[in-house]
């Protein structure tokens, strides 16, 4: 590209082209979807097995353990990513805000549910659905929108099931709603890196 003067048509074409480059830039690598997807599925399954074996008192400990593994890992990854990131779009800022808001709301929703002795899984699923849906719309990435639909459906199904079985529905929903879009984003980001 040079320092040449442009005709009106050329100007408009150039503006559209460059704005498209900025708009289509997805800096989400899928890492967080894969990390939290694997952790939540593992926690659900361990919790389910512990309940099956009658260890009800100890079963809920898997969740704080999962959080204690997930949060530092996610923070280290973000710190390292921030150091090598070349640009940040306005969408990235909104995207970050959505997931920060999700994290805070999720924490409070779990706290409220536990205090009221209500199963938090349907609430977790609808919250995850909202954040995943907004992310899919921001980045125009359909697998995330479909993932959100899976979460909404799973939340409705969970209400009809006993607590123990809700864990299996949650694990299945997370596999479809987080792991598949996460893998696709991860693959796309690797492709982009090698261009």
Partner 1 sequence: MFKKLDPLLNSELRLAVMSLLIGMEEAEFGFIREKTAATAGNLSVQLQKLKDAGYLEIKKSFRGKYPLTTCKVTADGIRAFQEYVDAVQSYLEISKKNHEK
Q: Give me the residues that bind partner 1 (CB under 8 A), please.
A: 1-6, 8-12, 14-15, 17-19, 21-23, 25, 83, 86-90, 92-93
Sign of CA dihedral 182, 102, 107, 166: negative
Q: How far is the CB of 94 from partner 1 (least distance, A)?
A: 10
How far is residue 17's CA from residue 48's CA, in Å, rounded to a whole number? 51
**Contact status, residue 177 vs residue 147, Cβ threshold 8 Å:** yes
Q: How far is the CB of 41 from partner 1 (least distance, A)?
A: 34
Q: How far is the CB of 127 from partner 1 (least distance, A)?
A: 26
Q: Which two tokens stand for residue 142?
A: 């359909």
> How many residues are given for the chain?
195
Q: How far is the CB of 182 from partner 1 (least distance, A)?
A: 24
How far is residue 73's CA from residue 190's CA, in Å, rounded to a whole number? 20
Cβ proximity to partner 1, 21 vs 117, nearer residue: 21
User: Which of 35, 30, 52 has the alpha carbon at shortest distance from 168?
Assistant: 52
Cβ proximity to partner 1, 160 vs 194, nearer residue: 194
Cβ proximity to partner 1, 5 vs 57, nearer residue: 5
CA atoms within 13 A on the CB side of 187: 6
Q: How far is the CB of 186 from partner 1 (least distance, A)?
A: 21
Q: Is 168 helix (H, G, I), strand (E, B) or coil?
A: helix
Cβ proximity to partner 1, 17 vs 162, nearer residue: 17
Cβ proximity to partner 1, 82 vs 117, nearer residue: 82
- Which H or E element spans position 28? none
């Amino acid at each position: 590209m040079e320092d040449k003067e442009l005709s009106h048509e050329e100007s408009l074409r150039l503006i559209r082209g460059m704005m498209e480059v900025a708009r289509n830039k997805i800096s989400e690598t899928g890492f967080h979807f894969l990390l939290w997807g694997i952790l939540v599925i593992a926690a659900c399954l361990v919790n389910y097995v512990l309940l099956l074996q009658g260890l009800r008192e100890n079963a809920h400990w898997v969740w704080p353990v999962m959080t204690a593994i997930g949060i530092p890992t996610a923070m280290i990854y973000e710190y390292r990513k921030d150091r090598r990131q070349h640009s940040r779009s306005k969408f990235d800022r909104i995207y970050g805000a959505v997931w920060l808001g999700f994290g805070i709301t999720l924490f409070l929703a779990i706290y409220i549910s536990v205090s009221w002795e209500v199963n938090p899984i349907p609430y977790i699923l609808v919250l995850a659905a909202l954040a995943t849906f907004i992310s899919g719309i921001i980045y125009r990435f359909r697998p995330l929108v479909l993932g959100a639909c899976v979460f909404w459906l799973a939340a409705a199904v969970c209400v009809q099931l006993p607590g123990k079985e809700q864990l299996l529905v949650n694990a299945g929903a997370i596999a479809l709603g987080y792991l598949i879009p996460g893998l696709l984003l991860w693959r796309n980001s690797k492709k982009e890196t090698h261009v």
